[in-house]
């Protein structure tokens, strides 16, 4: 049971987590914190939070669980602002898509990674953002990756694990660097491709015709290009080394495909498609089972 939950950034992830914990009777009081008063007022109107504070230090006062659901670029600033108000028994966690940058922010603010902080990343969400995007059951059956370090207290990890399991998530643990490499390839790279494709088509002279006649595959592939630009800007900057590595690999494979098409090498093209289909079908089956 969480007595007082403080959520920084009551949007899709932070808001959905708060809603699920409340609906399951697992939290007594939820306080939200954000720069935007209107955003917090709306969160209270929707019943996602009970109260709010715009001063981070006041917001965390007395909280036994603190969740940072803000863009990665804002992590250090929020940590610095809330530090003086933290209760010594408070457990802290985040929902950021890149973990090494969160650890670096902690070290810059606290001098080291506090034992009470458990880095986390829920693999869930939609292309929508903001408090209105918060939904019930967002994490049911989804994976949440925890990336505790040597200093992380076992008790803190246990409490964060229990929180996510309580809202229906499957909780895994991973090394922070490995997490960033995996997510660069499976999440950050696809977003870069979707954004770049839409931007490329938008700059073509026939752009009106391009979008008018785009088929369902285009809509499916580019859905994630409707995601929050600020959030994805921060992710790309925070995880740039792993993302550049993934982009380099993709560029090399794309170059090989271009050469095969240019040469009319049907055998290589078909092998590529067959291999990719087999892998994608296996992933889909495993996802359905999971």
Same domain as 41, residue 56: yes
pLDDT, tens only, 78-112:
999 999 999 999 999 999 999 999 999 999 999 99
Q: How confident is the model at residue 219 (pLDDT cuts 50, 70, 90)?
A: confident
Q: How confident is the model at residue 284 (pLDDT cuts 50, 70, 90)?
A: confident
Among 174, 209, 237, give the residue marking a domain's end: 174
Q: Is the pLDDT of residue 289 over 60?
A: no
290: tokens are 């999971």
Residues in the chain: 290
224: tokens are 């994630």
Q: How confident is the model at residue 196 (pLDDT cuts 50, 70, 90)?
A: very high
- Phi, psi at 150, each rounded to 5°: -55, -35
Same domain as 191, residue 250: yes
Task: Report DSSP letters for 230-263, one per residue.
Answer: HHHHHHHHHTHHHHHHHHHHHHHHHHHHHHHHHT
Domain of residue 213, residue span:
178-289
Mean pLDDT taken over the chain = 93
Same domain as 194, residue 169: no
Report the CATH number at residue 285.
1.10.3660.10
Among 109, 144, 174, give the residue marking a domain's end: 174
* Residue scoring higher pLDDT (260 or 203): 260
Helix or strand or coil: residue 29? Answer: strand
Q: Which pLDDT value is given to residue 207?
A: 65
Same domain as 190, residue 163: no
Same domain as 209, residue 147: no
Q: Is the pLDDT of residue 210 over 80?
A: no
Q: Are 39 and 13 in contact (CB under 8 A)?
A: no
Among 145, 174, 203, give the residue marking a domain's end: 174
Domain count, the chain: 2
Rounded CA Rg of the chain = 21
Residue in 35, 91, 40, 84 with CA at minimum distance from that of residue 63: 91
Same domain as 87, residue 153: yes
pLDDT, tens only, 112-163:
999 999 999 999 877 778 888 889 999 999 999 999 999 999 999 999 999 9
Same domain as 135, residue 210: no
Same domain as 141, residue 10: yes
Same domain as 158, residue 45: yes
Q: Which pLDDT value is given to residue 183?
A: 96
Residue in 252, 244, 130 with CA at minimum distance from that of residue 192: 244
159 burial level (CB within 10 Å; 0-12, 13-18, 19+): middle
Percent of the chain's residues with pLDDT above 70: 98
Residue in 74, 103, 107, 43 with CA at minimum distance from that of residue 231: 74
Q: Is the pLDDT of residue 213 over 80?
A: no
């Amino acid at each position: 049971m969480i007595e007082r939950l403080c959520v920084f950034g009551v949007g899709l992830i932070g808001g959905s987590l708060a809603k699920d914990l409340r609906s399951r009777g697992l939290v007594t009081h939820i306080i939200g914190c954000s720069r935007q008063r209107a955003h917090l007022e709306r969160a209270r109107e929707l019943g996602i939070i009970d109260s709010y504070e715009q001063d981070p230090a006041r917001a965390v006062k007395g909280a036994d669980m603190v969740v940072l659901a803000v863009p990665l670029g804002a992590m250090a600033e929020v940590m610095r602002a809330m530090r003086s108000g933290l209760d010594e028994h408070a457990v802290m966690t985040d929902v950021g898509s890149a973990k090494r940058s969160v650890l670096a922010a902690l070290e810059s603010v606290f001098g080291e990674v506090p034992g009470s902080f458990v880095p986390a990343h829920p693999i869930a969400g939609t292309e929508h953002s903001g408090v209105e995007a918060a939904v019930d059951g967002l994490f049911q059956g989804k994976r949440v990756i925890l990336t505790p370090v040597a200093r992380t207290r076992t008790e803190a990890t246990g409490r964060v694990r229990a929180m996510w399991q309580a809202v229906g998530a499957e909780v895994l643990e991973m090394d922070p660097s490995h997490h960033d490499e995996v997510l660069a390839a499976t999440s950050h790279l696809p977003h870069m491709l979707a954004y770049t494709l839409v931007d490329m088509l938008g700059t073509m002279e026939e752009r009106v015709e391009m979008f008018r006649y785009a088929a369902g595959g285009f809509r499916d592939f580019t859905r994630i290009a409707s995601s929050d630009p600020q959030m994805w800007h921060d992710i790309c900057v925070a995880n740039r080394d792993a993302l550049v590595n993934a982009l380099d690999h993709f560029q090399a494979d794309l170059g090989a495909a271009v050469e095969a098409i240019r040469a009319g090498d049907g055998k290589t093209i078909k092998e590529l498609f067959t291999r990719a289909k087999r892998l994608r079908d296996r992933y889909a089956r495993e996802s359905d089972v999971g």
